[in-house]
Amino acid sequence: MTKPLEGIKIIDFTHVQAGPAATQMLAWFGADVIKVERPGSGDVTRSQLRHIKDADALYFTMLNSNKKSLTLDTKTQKGKKVLERLIRESDVLVENFAPGALDRMGFTWEHIHELNPGMIVASVKGFSDGHHFEDLKVYENVAQAAGGAASTTGFWDGPPTVSGAALGDSNTGMHLVIGILTALHARDKNGGKGQKVSVSMQDAVINLVRVKLRDQQRLDATGILEEYPQYPHGQFTDVVPRGGNAGGGGQPGWVLKCKGWETDPNAYIYFTIQGHAWPKVAEAIGKPEWIDDPAYNTALARQDKIFDIFSYIEEWLSDKTKFEAVDILRKFDIPCAPVLSMKEIANDPSLRKSGTIVEVNHPVIGKYLTVGSPIKFSDLDIDITASPLLGQHTNDVLKDLGYSQEEISELHDEKAV
Ligand code: COA
């Protein structure tokens, strides 16, 4: 089967997580992704958090599957010539270096555009061009702080909190994928003209905290946010408070203890009380008298006793495991889920079957698990192959670029590759 992105050649000048997550996804969909890495060391994640001595770390293997690896010192004259040839033959260059690094290397947008007018140059930076923080280097949690996620996550009596989900890194990479595919589409419509595409990590996080900006404006207008735990007993200031585990969209919810919570840190479910589902909630938890009781039968009436209601539900849950509880609640159409640990996710048969959790065989580290494509297609099977060893495809890529065996040996001797 022809893969949708077959024939698209991508220079993957990315490192760490945000950039590699984007190019990995494009590789899954069939693009020829050539990861350009510094000779000798490569992407820093190859050696970060290793669990097997001298082998590529999972941090690297889980973000660089289905790619080729070309080692190239792009600060040497010979290395620059190789990169120039590669640029002439490629469709997209993706990079997430610190601001200005590509320019300092001599590969400005103007130079790249001159070498290949059809080239799309896609970048991830911490902050957008012209932003007053544009010169800052940025990692995941820095982006969560600057993007409004940290200030709105956690509990009101604790500090701003970051999420374990890579809202700054992989999320930005996914935004970049959308940008790259859009630019490829635009190129087809624009007589082959390439363009620059950039996503800042701050912006990508802000895109996910849209509902909190909604709440800021409601708070400015009314001084309260009636679905937050602070209402009606607590105090609001003039900024959106941290809401703990409250639901964000007007469906009150909370993380509730289930049987075994005393010893199992994940023996919890997320329970929602949607307005229209109240009769079913009341029925499911054995409180049918709450269905028509005016003290309970509207969201507003329940709000001042929402934590008493959750406490009652926790009592109901105390003799049920999280899985038993969900099995009961699903019969009542109540949106809920067990809080799953990473161990449970790793072993979940449905996730294995759908290809979301995939076992990959690596020539050095053996079998490992990775996260496969969250996007499923009816006409595309996505095979996840092992990440490349450092420089595994250097000679093949150089041959494809027209270098002779003698020239390739010279490049090796001069440590340009
Ligand atoms: N050959 C020669 N030099 C290379 C090279 C290669 N193949 N690949 C990289 N380099 C050089 C760069 O040109 C740069 O040199 P310079 O500083 O002299 O200009 C140098 O390596 C280091 O690159 P840099 O990006 O500054 O790495 P860093 O480890 O200092 O910073 C980040 C890492 C992630 C903080 C930074 O790259 C960054 O802020 N990126 C943008 C936001 C981002 O993507 N964050 C990470 C999300 S996971």
* pLDDT tens digits for range 141-162: 999 999 999 999 999 999 999 9
Q: Which residues line ligand 1 (CB under 6 A)?
A: 16-19, 36-38, 72-75, 96-98, 101, 104-105, 124-126, 137-139, 169
Asked whether the beta carbons of 269 and 326 are under 8 A apart, the reply is yes
Mean per-residue pLDDT pooled into runs of 10, the chain (417 residues): 94 98 98 98 97 97 98 97 98 97 96 98 97 96 98 96 98 98 97 98 98 97 93 94 85 93 98 89 96 93 92 98 98 95 98 98 97 97 97 98 98 96
Query: Count of residues for the chain?
Result: 417
Mutational test site, ligand 1, from 46, 97, 135, max ligand atoms within 8 Å of CB: 97
269 bridge partner residues: 256, 338
C-alpha 332/C-alpha 89 separation (Å) is 58
251 assigned binding-site residue? yes
| pLDDT of 227 | 87
Ligand 1: which atom is nearest the Cα of residue 75? 2
Spacing, Cα 186 to ligand 1 middle (Å): 29
249 assigned binding-site residue? yes
User: What backbone phi and psi angles, to 5 degrees, belong to 38?
Assistant: -70, 130
| pLDDT of 250 | 65
403 assigned binding-site residue? no
157 assigned binding-site residue? no
C-alpha 199/C-alpha 347 separation (Å) is 34
Q: How far is CA 227 from the centre of its chain?
A: 28
Cα–Cα nearest to 143, from 122, 169, 124:
169
Pseudo-torsion of CA 116, 117, 122, 128, nearest 10°? Answer: 130
Neighbours of 304 (CB within 10 A): 12
Asked whether the beta carbons of 336 and 272 are under 8 A apart, the reply is yes
| pLDDT of 34 | 98
pLDDT tens digits for range 103-153: 999 999 999 999 999 999 999 999 999 999 999 999 999 999 999 999 999
User: What backbone phi and psi angles, to 5 degrees, belong to 256?
Assistant: -120, 145
- Could you give the strand order of the β-sheet that contains 196-200, starting from the edge strand earlier in sequence? 68-71, 32-37, 9-13, 92-95, 120-125, 196-200
Neighbours of 126 (CB within 10 A): 24
Ligand 1: which atom is nearest the Cα of residue 14? 44
Spacing, Cα 260 to ligand 1 middle (Å): 46
Mutational test site, ligand 1, from 137, 140, 415, max ligand atoms within 8 Å of CB: 137
Spacing, Cα 342 to ligand 1 middle (Å): 31
**Dihedral sign for Cα atoms in the order 375, 379, 385, 390:** negative
| pLDDT of 252 | 85
* 383 is an active site residue: no
Bridge-based pairing state of the strands 32-37 and 68-71: parallel
Spacing, Cα 44 to ligand 1 middle (Å): 10
Spacing, Cα 96 to ligand 1 middle (Å): 7
Q: Count each helix (H run) and each strand (E run) in the chain, helices first.
A: 17, 11
Residue owning the nearest CA to atom 23 of ligand 1: 97
Ligand 1: which atom is nearest the Cα of residue 79? 1
**Dihedral sign for Cα atoms in the order 216, 220, 222, 223:** positive
C-alpha 124/C-alpha 6 separation (Å) is 24
73 assigned binding-site residue? yes
Q: Which of 32, 43, 56, 169 is catalytic?
A: 169
Asked whether the beta carbons of 248 and 224 are under 8 A apart, the reply is no
Spacing, Cα 120 to ligand 1 middle (Å): 20
C-alpha 185/C-alpha 220 separation (Å) is 41
Q: State pTM to two decimals.
A: 0.96
Cα–Cα distances (Å) from 387 to 60, 133, 222, 371, 397, in that order, read: 8, 34, 53, 13, 16
36 assigned binding-site residue? no
Residue owning the nearest CA to atom 17 of ligand 1: 101
Ligand 1: which atom is nearest the Cα of residue 168? 47
Cα–Cα distances (Å) from 330 to 294, 324, 338, 351, in that order, read: 26, 10, 12, 19
Residue owning the nearest CA to atom 42 of ligand 1: 125
Cα–Cα distances (Å) from 93 to 124, 207, 267, 405, in that order, read: 12, 24, 45, 26
Residue owning the nearest CA to atom 25 of ligand 1: 97
Residue owning the nearest CA to atom 5 of ligand 1: 38
